[in-house]
């Protein structure tokens, strides 16, 4: 029975929330539904993690756990196939935490709260569905489900040049998914030798039937398709505009989780299914992602809009994710997933704080802000913590992820990998430059605008949202082994199987 599978509830809960929101009448009801739903997701993610670890402890070494498969469309052999390994479990936790924090960050959304939260839930459905699927078609479907609400969320509730941004973001990501669709179809038609084509990732991987010359075409298509979402240079320009216009919680969810879909997909479909092409073509994408890392950081140095700074910072940090995945070894890939987790949390924190600051001062221009530490100490301290996490302070999550990536990348002894690793390492300095520039400018110093003196500090729901994220960031930073080992063990088994 489908309902026996625990994973399906990651999709069921948001759908139920959606239904509940559709019939809700008041703000109080909307909030109650959202909070209950988000908490349930959080609890479910925690439960799945514990159950996952329990299964592994009993010696279950299957590639995916909690698997289930239900025929959906017979002629094309499409299933609703579910299953998780360590990597997806971590992503599920990340998504549920950010959805939870995002709900509280958009506590007082105006106008049309009901519609806003409905789209928000639909977006969450897509995100969770993506991470639990192991069938390419359902994965793609959930991916699209996550993308479309973005258009409306930005277009309706956004700010600034929102129509342009929403259109740009949607078109660019759709362009990416066009490539992706082609790639997926290509994989499907080469998924087995005897004509029993399948969409199931595990089966494709086992069959290992994609001819090498086809891999060389299909790998770039899928990698670029997901890479667009992962803000890979030169397909990253949707990110600054999109983030700048998006409402707070949407930025949080987008940068925090949606961009991780890119990295996750790059691994799960492009590299996992086409290891030969991955080893052959990695260098091209290493160059592109290596550029992303440094380029994003340098661009962030001269931006004046807080959200632009963060968007470019995300380009840099997400570039590091893809960079590490392409290193194709356990340590670096573990680092990549840690970086997804870490970047997801801290960038969500950043966007939440920027949203809160913007909601008060009505400007995100750093030239018009200053001395906020005296006015809103709580938000400012949180901002400093987010900044320190971003520049990789030990004890917060960024450090662990970056160090794992660098140590892993350094395992390659050839000059090419070495040089690019060192180039990527340089980003830690540039990151410090732009983070401290912003912190120094907007939080410290004299109060820039006397009108700001009357502003208030964070309210309880804002505090709850930021504290949740900070606790997660600090917990990962202080006790990294918990997640790192889950991820590492998964990669150890995967890498053994893949002919990398």
Partner 1 sequence: MEFSYTLAVLIIPILMFLFLGLVGMKLSNKVAGVIGTTAMGIVTAIAYAIAFTYFFGDSQGQVIDGVRQQLEVVNFTWLQFTDNLIIKLGVLLDPIAAMMLIVITTVSFMVHLYSLGYMKGEKGFQRYYAFLSLFTFSMLGLVVATNIFQMYIFWELVGVSSYLLIGFYYTKPAAVAASKKAFIVTRFADLGFLIGILILSFYTQTFDFLTLTSNPSSMISTASGATFMGCSVMAWALTLIFMGGAGKSAMFPLHIWLPDAMEGPTPVSALIHAATMVVAGVYLVARLFPLYACEVGVLEIITVIGAVTALYAAMVACVQSDIKRVLAFSTISQIAFMITSLGVARPEIHEGVGYMASMFHLFTHAMFKALLFLGAGAIIHAVHSNEVKDMGGLRKYMPICHITFLIGCLAIAGIPPFSGFFSKDEILVAAYSNSPLWGIWLTVVAGMTAFYMFRVYYLIFWWNNPDYGHHTPHESPATMTIPLIFLATVSIFAGFIPFGEFVSWNRETYTIHLNWTVATTSVLVALAGIALATKLYMKENKAPAAMADKVRGLWTAAYHRFYMDELYQFITHRIIFGCVSKPIAWFDRHIIDGTMDMLATVTNSASYAIRKLQSGSIQGYVMVYFVGVILLAVITYICLI
Q: Is 471 in the site for partner 1 (CB under 8 A)?
A: no
Q: Is 419 in the site for partner 1 (CB under 8 A)?
A: no
Q: Are 434 and 365 in contact (CB under 8 A)?
A: no
Residue given tokens 């179809």 in the structure block = 185
| C-beta neighbour count of 288 within 10 angstroms | 21
- Of the pair 218, 376, the CB lying nearest partner 1 is at 376
Q: Least distance (Å) from partner 1 to the CB of residue 248?
A: 24
Q: Is 420 in the site for partner 1 (CB under 8 A)?
A: no
Q: Is 371 in the site for partner 1 (CB under 8 A)?
A: yes
Instruction: Using alpha carbons, select from 121, 224, 218, 122 the residue that is nearest to residue 172.
Output: 224
Residue given tokens 């959930």 in the structure block = 142
Q: How far apart are CA 190 and CA 446, in angstroms?
A: 64
Residues 163-192 as b/e (b if ≥16 CB within 10 A, e otherwise) read eebbebbbebbeebbebbeebbebbbebbb
Binding mask 325-364 for partner 1 (x = CB under 8 A): -----xx---------------------------------
Q: Least distance (Å) from partner 1 to the CB of residue 102?
A: 25
The residue from 72, 197, 214, 298 that contacts partner 1 (CB under 8 A) is 298
**Which range touches partner 1 (CB under 8 A), out of 24-32, 141-149, 195-203, 444-452?**
444-452
Q: What is the DSSP string of 173-230?
A: HHHHHHHHHHHHHHHHTTS-SSS----BHHHHHHH----HHHHHHHHHHHHHHHHHHT
Q: What is the dihedral of CA 33, 35, 39, 41, to 10 degrees?
A: 50
**Which range touches partner 1 (CB under 8 A), out of 73-81, 202-210, 339-347, 403-411?**
403-411
Q: Is 299 in the site for partner 1 (CB under 8 A)?
A: yes
- Of the pair 48, 172, the CB lying nearest partner 1 is at 172
The residue from 49, 303, 313, 468 that contacts partner 1 (CB under 8 A) is 303
Q: Are 340 and 410 in contact (CB under 8 A)?
A: no
Residue 197 burial class via C-beta count within 10 angstroms: exposed 0-12, middle 13-18, buried 19 and up: middle
**Subset of residues 171 to 190 that bind partner 1, contact rule: CB under 8 A:** 171-172
Return the ∠ at Cα 476 (arms to 437 and 288), rounded to 5°.
60
- Of the pair 156, 384, the CB lying nearest partner 1 is at 384
The residue from 2, 193, 302, 471 that contacts partner 1 (CB under 8 A) is 302
Structure tokens at 127: 């995100």
**Which range touches partner 1 (CB under 8 A), out of 71-79, 277-285, 369-377, 451-459?**
369-377
Q: Is 421 in the site for partner 1 (CB under 8 A)?
A: yes
- Of the pair 130, 285, the CB lying nearest partner 1 is at 285
The residue from 234, 454, 456, 460 that contacts partner 1 (CB under 8 A) is 234
**Which range touches partner 1 (CB under 8 A), out of 84-92, 123-131, 233-241, 347-355?**
233-241
Q: Is 428 in the site for partner 1 (CB under 8 A)?
A: yes
Q: What is the DSSP string of 92-120?
A: HHHHHHHHHHHHHHTTT--S-HHHHHHHH
Structure tokens at 232: 């890979």
Q: Least distance (Å) from partner 1 to the CB of residue 60?
A: 21
The residue from 488, 490, 494, 498 that contacts partner 1 (CB under 8 A) is 488
Residue given tokens 């998964």 in the structure block = 490
Q: Least distance (Å) from partner 1 to the CB of residue 436?
A: 5
Instruction: Using alpha carbons, select from 360, 109, 95 the residue that is nearest to residue 249.
Output: 109
The residue from 280, 411, 449, 457 that contacts partner 1 (CB under 8 A) is 411
Binding residues for partner 1, per CB under 8 A?
168, 171-172, 233-234, 236-237, 295, 298-299, 301-303, 330-331, 371, 373-374, 388, 391-395, 399-400, 403-404, 406-408, 410-411, 421-422, 425-426, 428-429, 432-433, 436-437, 440, 443-446, 480-481, 484-485, 488
């Amino acid at each position: 029975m489908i309902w026996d599978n625990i994973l399906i509830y990651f999709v069921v809960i948001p759908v139920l929330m959606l239904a509940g929101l559709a019939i809700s009448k008041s703000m109080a009801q909307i909030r109650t539904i959202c909070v209950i739903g988000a908490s349930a997701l959080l609890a479910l993610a925690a439960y799945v993690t514990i159950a996952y670890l329990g299964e592994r402890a009993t010696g279950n070494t299957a590639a995916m756990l909690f698997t289930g498969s239900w025929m959906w469309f017979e002629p094309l052999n499409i299933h609703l196939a579910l299953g998780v390994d360590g990597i997806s479990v971590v992503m599920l936790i990340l998504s549920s935490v950010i959805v939870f924090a995002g709900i509280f960050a958009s506590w007082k959304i105006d106008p049309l709260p009901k519609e806003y939260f409905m789209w928000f839930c639909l977006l969450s459905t897509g995100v969770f569905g993506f991470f639990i699927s192991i069938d390419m078609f359902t994965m793609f479907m959930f991916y699209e489900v996550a993308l479309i609400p973005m258009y409306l969320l930005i277009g309706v509730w956004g700010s600034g040049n929102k129509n342009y941004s929403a259109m740009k973001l949607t078109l660019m990501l759709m362009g990416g998914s066009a490539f992706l669709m082609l790639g997926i179809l290509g994989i499907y038609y080469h998924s087995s030798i005897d004509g029993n084509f399948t969409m199931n990732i595990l089966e494709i991987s086992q069959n290992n039937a994609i001819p090498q010359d086809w891999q060389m075409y299909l790998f770039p298509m899928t990698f670029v398709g997901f890479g667009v979402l992962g803000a890979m240079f030169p397909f990253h320009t949707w990110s600054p505009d999109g983030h700048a216009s998006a409402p707070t919680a949407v930025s949080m969810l987008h940068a925090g989780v949606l961009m991780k879909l890119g990295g996750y997909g790059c691994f799960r479909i492009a590299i996992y299914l086409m290891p030969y092409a991955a080893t052959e073509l990695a260098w091209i994408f290493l160059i592109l992602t290596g550029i992303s890392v440094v380029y994003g950081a340098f661009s962030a140095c001269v931006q004046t809009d807080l959200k632009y700074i963060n968007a470019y910072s995300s380009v840099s940090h997400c570039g590091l994710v893809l960079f590490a995945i392409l290193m194709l070894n356990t340590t670096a890939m573990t680092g990549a997933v840690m970086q997804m987790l870490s970047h997801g949390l801290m960038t969500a924190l950043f966007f939440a704080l920027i949203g809160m600051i913007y909601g008060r001062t009505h400007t995100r221009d750093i030239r018009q802000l200053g001395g906020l530490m005296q006015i809103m100490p709580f938000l400012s301290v949180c901002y400093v913590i987010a900044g320190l996490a971003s520049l990789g302070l030990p004890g917060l999550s960024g450090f662990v992820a970056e160090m794992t990536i660098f140590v892993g990348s350094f395992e390659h002894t050839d000059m090419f990998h070495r040089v690019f690793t060192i180039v990527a390492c340089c980003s830690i300095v540039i990151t410090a430059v732009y983070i401290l520039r912003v912190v120094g400018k907007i939080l410290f110093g004299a109060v820039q605008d006397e009108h700001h003196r009357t502003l208030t500090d964070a309210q309880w729901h804002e505090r709850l949202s930021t504290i949740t994220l900070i606790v997660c960031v600090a917990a990962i930073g202080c006790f990294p082994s918990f997640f790192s080992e889950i991820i590492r063990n998964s990669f150890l088994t995967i890498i053994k199987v893949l002919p990398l």
